[in-house]
Structure 1
Amino acid sequence: MAQDTDVIVQPGSVQSDPSVHIEVSKNGPYIVRGAPALHVQVIVANEAGNSWAYQQGQEFAVKDGTALCRCGHSKKKPYCDGSHLRAGVDLTETATFQPMLEGAEEIDGPNYSLTDNEAYCAFARFCDNGNRIWNEVQMPGEQHEKLAAYMAHQCPSGRLLIWDRATRMPVEAPLPVSLSLLEDPAESVSGPLVLRGGIRVQSASGASYEIRNRQTLCRCGASSNKPFCDGSHASIGFRDGL
């Protein structure tokens, strides 16, 4: 599998087959290239009421060229039905092409470090378990380190990344290529389009965003960091009706 050398790949991530990628159309939908699997994925809470795992739901057909709604108004979600032409939603891309780590805060613990770029928060709340990830990573002991790593790996947007302080390498395993439509029953909202496995996202300008193992793209049309999710679906109560 050839790797595209014209794009930035985040440390710890591996680019997927380049034939599989997402094109952001100007003021329009996401165009899927290739035919990655697309499922609903439901956030499952633990006994404490915090986000803990995912449950796979309904599958949707995807083929090369499938258009997925990103304005939040389609009556045929997850597919585009042209509603963006009438909805009056500003779909202008505002995200930077810089690597996510350039805007990230670093928190150091005994053996692990955590990098966190809040601009990419998808409000999935896996980070709230235990003493919350920002504290867990600083606490000594294998139990805290394992929990911090687990929370970071569950973060759908890749906002949170755990690093081994000895090797200065991310503790991150490449994920299978997939697309998912996040559902958040605890908040009674529908979330972003989740990309896993190093899928390239191409701007309407033709430039490519940094390739990452975990990414989330806005589906409600309200993000201030388009095309990426910033958690706005929760504040506006977005429901996709699926």
Structure 2
Amino acid sequence: MVYRTKDGRITETATSENTLTVSYQGPYFLTGDLAIEQSPSDMPGIQFRAALCRCGLSKNKPFCDNSHEGQFKDYGAVGETGEPLKETGGKLNITPLKDGPLLLSGNVTFKASSGRTAWYGNNAALCRCGASKNKPFCDGTHKNIGFKTD
């Protein structure tokens, strides 16, 4: 979904900062100038905002379909801090690896579910199997549990 004017023009633009919010027992919420590999062309709104699965249960990976409800338990904490970014905008590339993490490349600020700015960086591997002991970051657990993206 994307905002269109009455005459059909898309007037929505990317926010000046790329942010990822790790939600309480839910998905990753991203806003900014997003480039999500494998995303459908008929969903132009996802170039500005998206909800991506982090529990491993979605039937529409990498996107969230609310399969986490009642199944996934995580408080949305982010323990690491990273260094403040010199630049906050620009393209944020999101690459879902087959049977593995989401790779982020580009300036991004992470927010914990509490709203606290928690991490800054240019590259990250995010857990999307739901089992990492270092959430939201991938620790390789997907390999041990046989996580499948299909």
Structure 1 and Structure 2 fold alike (TM over 0.5): yes
Q: What is the TM-score normalised by the length of structure 1? A: 0.47
| Superposition deviation, residue 24 in structure 1 | 1.4
Q: What is the CA–CA distance in structure 2 between the aligned matches of 1:81 and 1:176, rounded to whole Å?
A: 25
Is the CA contact 1:223–1:229 (under 8 Å) kept in the aligned structure 2?
yes
* Residue in structure 2 matched with residue 111 of structure 1 by the alignment: none
Q: 2:104 aligns with which of 168, 183, 195?
A: 195
2:28 to 19, 27, 30: 30
Whether 2:75 is the aligned partner of 1:92: answer: yes
**SS of corresponding position for 1:71:** coil
Query: Does residue 76 of the first structure (1) align with residue 74 of the second (2)?
Result: no
Match of 2:131 in 1: 222
Corresponding residue for residue 237 of structure 1 = 146
* Residue in structure 1 matched with residue 96 of structure 2 by the alignment: 181
Aligned equivalent of 2:12: none
Whether contact under 8 Å (1:94, 1:225) holds in the other structure is no
1:148-203 per-residue CA deviation (whole Å, 9 max, x = no partner) reads xxxxxxxxxxxxxxxxxxxxxxxxxxx953111012xxxxxx11111111211111
- Aligned residues of 1:179 and 1:196 also touching (Cα < 8 A): yes
- Secondary structure of the 2:121 match is coil
| TM-aligned CA deviation for residue 94 of structure 1 | 5.0
Q: How does 1:1-242 map to 2 (within 5 A)?
A: 18-39=16-37, 58-60=38-40, 61=43, 62-87=46-71, 89-99=72-82, 177-183=92-98, 190-241=99-150
Give the conservation status (yes or no) of the 8 Å contact 1:200–1:210. yes
Instruction: Give how far 1:64 is off.
Output: 3.5
TM superposition shift of 1:84:
0.8
CA RMSD of aligned residues (A): 2.2
* SS of alignment partner, residue 177 of structure 1: strand
Structure 1 residues 216-242: Cα deviation after superposition (integer angstroms, max 9, x where no partner): 11100001111111111111111111x
**Mapped partners of 1:34, 1:28: distance in 2:** 19
Q: How far apart, in 2, do the equivalents of 1:218 and 1:64 lie?
A: 21
Unaligned runs of 5+ in 1: 1-16, 40-57, 101-174, 184-189
Q: Deviations over 1:118-149 (max 9, x none)?
A: xxxxxxxxxxxxxxxxxxxxxxxxxxxxxxxx
Local SS of the residue matching 2:117: coil
TM-score by length of 2: 0.73
Where 1:211 maps in the other structure, the secondary structure is strand
- CA distance 1:203–1:95, shift in 2 (3 Å): closer
Q: Percent identity?
A: 39
Alpha-carbon contact 2:78-2:112 (below 8 Å) kept: no
Q: Is the 8 A contact 2:78 2:119 kept in 1?
A: no
Change (3 A) 1:97 1:63: same
Paired residues of 1:199 and 1:212 also in contact (CA < 8 A)? yes
Q: Which runs of 5+ in 2 are unaligned?
A: 1-14, 84-89
TM-superposed deviation, 1:95: 4.0
Equivalences, count: 126
Higher relative contact order (CA 8 A, sep 6+): 1
Q: Secondary structure at the match of 2:95?
A: strand
